[in-house]
Copies of this chain bind each other. A is one copy, B any other.
């Protein structure tokens, strides 16, 4: 069982307080440092690895490195993330349609989706409007 070090608490608490943000290991380490609670980058990575394995955080692989986000459901419910590929915004989605889709994939396609690792990428409402050809508000 893991020791309850202050670094461990710091990383988890930091993400817990920002459930709507997906952050890189670097950003987390940098912020903690400024918060008078410095944690080495390697340690941040090691804690994130554990937190992900424990189902406490989402991990989002992007082309520019992984992002980590607190998982409010503790991995129990199908809580998906939407990621805007234009502005990078992360949007929580706890929708009955997604749960239905998961059941369908499991039953009919024999594939068990892991909501914590699955990110639906696309365009959010704001960016969708911006990219429309008929007018840049």
Contacts and interface: CB of A to CB of B under 8 A. Distances in A.
Contacts of A42: none
B111 A124 contact: yes
Interface of A: 59, 61-63, 66, 82, 84-85, 91, 93, 95, 97-98, 101, 104-105, 109-114, 117-125, 128
B122 A119 contact: no
A101 B11 CA distance: 35
Contacts of A66: 63
Contact of A118 (B84, B91, B114, B119): B119
Given A91-B109, A111-B120, A118-B122, 5 more contacts: A63-B66, A91-B111, A98-B101, A110-B124, A111-B125
Nearest to A128: B112
A120 B111 CA distance: 10
Contact of A120 (B59, B91, B113, B128): B113
A59 B61 CA distance: 12
Nearest to A119: B118
A116 B120 CA distance: 10
